[in-house]
Structure formats: structure tokens, C-alpha cells
Amino acid sequence: MNAPLLLPWALSLAIGMLILAMALCLVRMLRGPAAQDRVLALDSMYLNAMLLVLVLCMHWGSTDYFEAALLVALLGFAGSTALAKFLLRGEVIE
Amino acid sequence: MTAMPLWLDILISVLVVAGAAIALTGSMGLLTLPSFFTRMHPPALIATLACWCILHGAFAFFWWQDGAAPLRLYLIALFIAMTVPITCIFLMRATLFRARRAGAAVPPSLSGRAPSAEGG
């Protein structure tokens, strides 16, 4: 058999830990005392989601979701930057 | 596709679990640290160490599975490495600006343009 022994267990464990990490970020985003805490929590949630997509790629054995991970990273950057600009200026596009 | 050797199995498993554990640690720090300026640090752990661990694991896995190096995976790492500092600096500047305007005890602006409580 050419199936790996440890990897399915490791991938399930990693998926569980990343989902827990996203839940912790969500708690911080809902509870965050200031707006910048919420933006920071949303940004780390995007990073965790990107890692989760990569681990799911390995789980399904398909390379089709690399672009999804790249898009999550890209949109997370655009969103966080726009929100930070909004906090700084009060408007996104001047 | 040949059988996966045991060392590769162990290597990928350790990389993926270490990356996920580091991401969990970073999120836990984000939740438990006391102030915003200390909370800036843990997400950097996710963006650097956890990201690189999981990317190297995925790289090794798909190289074994497809027989070709999936180099476009490193596009993601490159992109994260370029964009996360920009987001951090923007957020930091926004927070300092808001703290100065609220009259909190933060260092004054170097350019002296931002409105602050102590007239800096």
C-alpha cells in the first residue's frame, strides 16, 4: 500500500487546531474593546483561513485550491488595509 | 506515485502539526494579551512561522504526490511576507493616531502634524 500512515491523523489534528484558532480570533473580534482590535482579529482570522485552505488541499489531495488560498490572502490584505485607512482618515478613498 | 517513505510521512506530519499548533498559539495570544500594542505581536507568529511550516509541508506533500515541485505555493508565502508588514504598519499608525487624539499616554508624533492632547 502506498497510503501514508501518520498523515491523515496529522491533517485531522491540524484542521481541528486551525478551526479552534479561528474561533479564538472570532471571540477577540466580537469582544475587542476598540475598532483596531477587531481589525487585527479579522486579519489573523484571514491568515488562519488561508492556512486552513492549504491543509484542506493536502487533505483532499488536490492542487486546485492553491488559488483559493492565494485569493484569501490577497483579499485579507486589501480588506485590512482599507479598514486601517478608514480608522486613520475616516474615509477609504479620498 | 510511489509509496510514501516513512521519513517523508513523519516530516510532513510534524511540519503541518507544528504549523497548526503555532497558529493556535498565536490566536491564543491574540485573545489573552492585555493591551492592543502587545496584541500586535502574536499574529506575526501566524504570518511567519506557522505559514512557512505549513507551506513547506504542503510543498513536500504535493512534490511527492504529483512528481513536480509546486513552485506556485511559494507565491503565497512571498505575498504574505510582502503584505503583512504593510497591514501592521497601517494598523499601528491608525491606532497611534486614535490614541493621540483620545489623549492617551503614547509617544508623540515625529512629524508633529498629528493632533495630540499635549500639543505635539
Task: Give A28's pLDDT tier (boundaries 50, 70, 90).
Answer: very high
In a domain, B114, yes or no: no
In a domain, B120, yes or no: no
Are B30 and A57 in contact (CB < 8 Å)? Answer: no
In a domain, B112, yes or no: no
Contact between residue A43 and residue B83 where contact means Cβ atoms under 8 Å apart:
no
Taking all residues of chain A, what is their mean pLDDT, rounded to a whole number?
A: 89
Q: Using alpha carbons, list the distances in angstroms from residue A84 to A1, A79, B62.
A: 52, 9, 36
Domain count, chain B: 1
Place of cell 484542521: A15
pLDDT recorded at residue B112: 60
Residues of A in contact with B97 (CB under 8 A): 87-88
The boundaries of the domain holding residue B34 are 6-101
Q: Between B8, B12, B31, which is nearest A28 by CB? A: B31
CA of A42 to nearest chain B CA: how many angstroms apart?
10
Contact between residue A18 and residue B23 where contact means Cβ atoms under 8 Å apart:
yes
Look up the pTM and report it: 0.87
Are B9 and A4 in contact (CB < 8 Å)? Answer: yes
In a domain, B87, yes or no: yes
B55-100 pLDDT, tens per residue? 999 999 999 988 888 888 888 889 999 999 999 999 998 888 888 8
Are B76 and A50 in contact (CB < 8 Å)? Answer: yes
